[in-house]
Structure 1
Amino acid sequence: MKQKPIFIKKNSFDVEPFSTQKLEHSLLRSGASEEEIENIISKIQTEIYDGISSIEIYKKVFAYLKKSNRTSASRYSLKRAIFDLGPTGYPFERLVAALLREKGFKTSVSVILNGECVTHEIDVLAEKEGSVYAIECKFHSDANAVSNVKIPLYINSRFLDIQKQWNTNSKNTTHLKQGWLVTNTRFTIDAINYAKCVGLTLLSWDYPLNNGIKDNIDSFDLYPITTLINLSKDEKTTLISKDIILVKELYENKIVLEKMQITSDRIVKILNEVKELYKI
């Protein structure tokens, strides 16, 4: 007899049937072994029930993975780690700028530009091959938050104001080509359709398909320090306050761990985790 599906509550308050295939895919992407994945799925299947939240499942999976493979647990926690970059949006802007540099862009963060009508602060300004892109980053601390159509409407109007001023200024040797909107959560369908219509590039956790934030971070190993299991919450906050946002940056500034009076044994553990994530 076919087993009755178990329905789980998503962050958006929607419900969907629990999928072992989706869980397996997430664990594979984290780098877990086939044996680890099989063991975790078999345990989770005995513990879930109708109405369980996706957050509760995440916590259970993370706990099991942390016991068997701490590096994979760090990668598995990426979505939560990006939320932990808050409460301000600046660390997220730095992460977006770093991703763009990996793609060959020159970037600047928090740039003031004159528009035809008013002055605007641009979160990230990116330039490549003579074309410039004005990028607005919408960071959300709430996993349920989505960017509706009002956000790209507003961002596109700002971009058009800046574009008129930039491209008519004889001192500029580059062309302000396009506006971008980046968020760590999701866009509504109307927001996506509007952006397509006006030529605004969108980037979210999982959009575009197979080229969202998660895919890009995994591709370039640009993990935020908030993924590190061997750091405490307070230590992560301290590092972010020192403008160390990425695992890569922590590796390049190891001395900061000593200055934070972290014991040598813990520093070794932290740096071993860093090396695994950064694939050094």
Structure 2
Amino acid sequence: MSKRINIIKASGDVALFSRSKIERSLRRSGASPGLARKIVNEVEAKLKSGMTTFDIYSAAFQLLKKANARPIAARYSLKRAITALGPTGFPFERFIGEIFKRKGFEVEVDKIVPGKCVSHEVDVVAKNKEKHYFMECKFHADQARATDVKVALYVHSRFRDIMEKIKEKGLCHEIHRAWVITNTRLSEDAIRYGECNNMKMIGWKYPKDRGVEVLIEETKLHPVTCLTVIDDYEKKWLLENNVVLCQDLPRRIDLLNKLGIREKRLKELLKEVRDVCGE
């Protein structure tokens, strides 16, 4: 039976420790039922009231690495790996763009789009034969921070101005839609306003079973920041050299060598990439 112990969430709210939530998260990351139970048992045995969700995550993450399950640890660390794409947010925009490329869309990142009244900078524009999406990618380095209704209001206003210009030219897609995608949560007012105006609102674990984490899992695209073989300096250096995806690394051996990753460590890194990406 799960201990009735209060833990502190990133938002500062207090909640009861949920054994099943951690077990589900571990299983979703690729852990076997036996390994997931073993890790949860060890985490639960050391629980104390007042521990944070980060304390619990860190304990489970270290146990995965200790169990020689680095690829599972990498997938389990996805939320913090997305946060590590900062601080500018531009790698997050590129990452979302790559997800939609994988889904078959033509994608432009950081595009200036004309509206009826003024031109607008749009983080990601994605289109195919039927759909045309204008996306605001709201990145927060602080996992406790929510994307609020002001963002939804701004994105909706911008979209209306862009649509007026598109109508002047003649509609060429069946579906035009504004999106807000964030790596953290959406406020209740942001969700209510966005959905009332037919906007697509995507946050961490929102909508349920269709959040940004599911978009990533479906396309099997993972950021280099989730890897455990390389350190924080090396991850930052790769991002600065426009390498965002794990999948890009096998084609960038030149950069890895320049970074000083060779021979045995290079072999370990490429194996982790294959395992994380399910190749």
> Taking structure 2 as the reference length, what is the TM-score of the superposition?
0.95
Match of 1:201 in 2: 200
1:207-260: CA deviation from partner (whole Å, max 9, x where unpaired): 111111111211221000000100111111111111110111112323321122
Match of 2:4 in 1: 5
Question: What is the letter of the counterpart of residue 32 of structure 2?
Answer: S
**1:57 offset after TM fit, Å?**
0.7
Distance 1:41 1:224, change over 3 A: same
1:54-102: CA deviation from partner (whole Å, max 9, x where unpaired): 1111111111111111110000000000000000111101111111122
> Once superposed, what is the RMSD of the aligned Cα atoms?
1.6
> Taking structure 1 as the reference length, what is the TM-score of the superposition?
0.95
Match of 1:91 in 2: 91
Give yes or no for contact 2:3–2:44 (8 Å, CA) kept in 1: no
Match of 2:100 in 1: 100
Give yes or no for contact 2:135–2:180 (8 Å, CA) kept in 1: yes
TM alignment of 1:143-154, pairs within 5 A: 143-154=143-154
Question: What is the letter of the counterpart of residue 179 of structure 1?
Answer: A
State the distance in 2 between where 1:4 and 1:261 align.
46
Distance 1:240 1:273, change over 3 A: same
State the distance in 2 between where 1:144 and 1:4 align.
25
Match of 2:53 in 1: 54
Question: What is the letter of the counterpart of residue 107 of structure 2?
Answer: T
Distance 1:65 1:179, change over 3 A: same
Give yes or no for contact 2:135–2:179 (8 Å, CA) kept in 1: yes
Distance 1:39 1:173, change over 3 A: closer
**1:175 offset after TM fit, Å?**
6.5
State the distance in 2 between where 1:4 and 1:77 align.
24
Question: What is the letter of the counterpart of residue 12 of structure 1?
Answer: S
State the distance in 1 between where 2:174 and 2:241 align.
34
Distance 1:130 1:37, change over 3 A: closer
TM alignment of 1:160-199, pairs within 5 A: 160-169=160-169, 173-174=172-173, 177-199=176-198
State the distance in 1 between where 2:199 and 2:3 align.
43
Percent identity, please.
38
State the distance in 1 between where 2:76 and 2:85 align.
16
State the distance in 2 between where 1:247 and 1:32 align.
20
Give yes or no for contact 1:183–1:204 (8 Å, CA) kept in 2: yes
Match of 2:17 in 1: 18
State the distance in 2 between where 1:4 and 1:185 align.
28
State the distance in 2 between where 1:3 and 1:121 align.
49
Match of 1:33 in 2: 32
Question: What is the letter of the counterpart of residue 256 of structure 1?
Answer: L
**1:43 offset after TM fit, Å?**
1.1
State the distance in 2 between where 1:275 and 1:82 align.
19
Give yes or no for contact 1:163–1:176 (8 Å, CA) kept in 2: no
Match of 2:242 in 1: 243
Match of 2:210 in 1: 211
2:120 pairs with 1:133: no
Give yes or no for contact 1:62–1:76 (8 Å, CA) kept in 2: yes
Question: What is the letter of the counterpart of residue 153 of structure 1?
Answer: L
**1:126 offset after TM fit, Å?**
0.6
Give yes or no for contact 1:166–1:176 (8 Å, CA) kept in 2: no
Gaps of 5+ in 1: none
Question: What is the letter of the counterpart of residue 190 of structure 1?
Answer: D
Give yes or no for contact 1:166–1:175 (8 Å, CA) kept in 2: no
Give yes or no for contact 2:133–2:178 (8 Å, CA) kept in 1: yes
